[in-house]
Amino acid sequence: MTMEKFVARDSKSALEKVRAKLGPDALVLLTERSDLGVEVSAVGAERAEHYSACDVQTSLDESVNEITLGYLDRELKSLREVLYNALGEQAWQDMAGKKPVLAALEQRLRTLGLSKPIIDLVTSTADVSSGLNDAWAAILMSVTLRIDSADQSSTRINEAPKAVIGGSSNCRSVICQQLIKESLQVYKPSQILLLSATPDPSGALVNFCRREKVKRIQASTVAEARECLKRVKRGKKVIVETGELRPLLGISDPVLELIGDHELGFDVVSILPATYQSEILRSIDRHIVGLPIVGAVISQISEAVSLGPVIDALISGEIPLIGVSQQADKFLRKETPSGLIRRAKRLAKARLEGSETALRMPSYSRTA
């Protein structure tokens, strides 16, 4: 016997038709509404056992399928996690192009303000297998060792004229005063000469020489400065205040014309203002290459937000570090490469803490 359908105006009437024809033990398989009313699909008692067995088997099959699907779902999720982690790590490797420890080291060096060429240089031989902390200590040591320290005699006033170049007029004035103060610890004022080889000498330096009774000569041209230096008696301690460096003029720069005269035998002190950007310091370094530079003095350090550019200049230009010039100090403050790195770390930390504080500060809007 096959399944039969019964239609009535409501469910009760449809079930009565089922019992009337198939008996009280008939099995109702489906009930649904239609335009004619309620349609009931049912089978007789002899078919009910068959359908029940099918239902049981279907239920069993569905349970087995659910268990199987559960296992498959867990397997797929596990596989997806493995693939995600692997692909995520690969994406990191592709983005950074190196191991995470090395990427963290580079980020720290960028925080110090170092440029990419110098970062690539100091990390080229980095051993990251020992972990981040040990690798960081080794990197800082590498940076320190790449900065030369000037010989102690580099700032002493000797027979050679000492020219102070670079920086601003105020920077050169302060450093010239500090060099004169240092020489006055050993020599008499009459043994010291300041040559202002610039058409625009520093007024502060002029007044300083007057107070200290140090002779000062003004030379507005390169020719005048040369003649003056040639007439200086042996044993005179000479410090030269130069004008602004002009990299755009190339070898026609008046400062280079004077300092590059090998017959005069200059010792050159190069000023590295801590407020200058790396690009400016690099252009200056290219401009003064070949000059007899005995070392560099870092100026305006109290106004700096980063020492990265001057560290770049010291490493790339291979200029020995003499020290730091601060306007409040009588003498140049000696500085070691490791001391300079400590200063750079303190500045970077202060800058980061300042940024975090600014982010935490509430903003207030003004109302009219």
Per-residue pLDDT reduced to its tens digit, 46-91: 665 555 555 545 544 554 455 556 656 666 666 666 655 655 555 5
Please state the rounded mean pLDDT for residues 165-191.
93
Pairing of strands 215-218, 192-197: parallel
Choose among 242, 241, 185: nearest CA to 212: 185
So what's the pLDDT on residue 341?
94
What does pTM read for this prediction? 0.67
Name which of 4-18, 34-48, 250-264 the model is least confident about. Answer: 34-48
Please state the rounded mean pLDDT for residues 299-305.
91
pLDDT tens digits, 226-242: 888 888 877 788 999 99
So what's the pLDDT on residue 24?
76
pLDDT classification of 130: cutoffs 50, 70, 90? confident
So what's the pLDDT on residue 39?
83
So what's the pLDDT on residue 3?
76
CB 287 within 8 A of CB 312: no
pLDDT classification of 261: cutoffs 50, 70, 90? confident
Give me the chain's average pLDDT, please: 81
Cβ burial, residue 71 (10 Å; 0-12/13-18/19+): exposed
Please state the rounded mean pLDDT for residues 243-247.
90
So what's the pLDDT on residue 163?
92
Walk across the sheet containing 4-8 and list its strands: 4-8, 37-43, 27-34
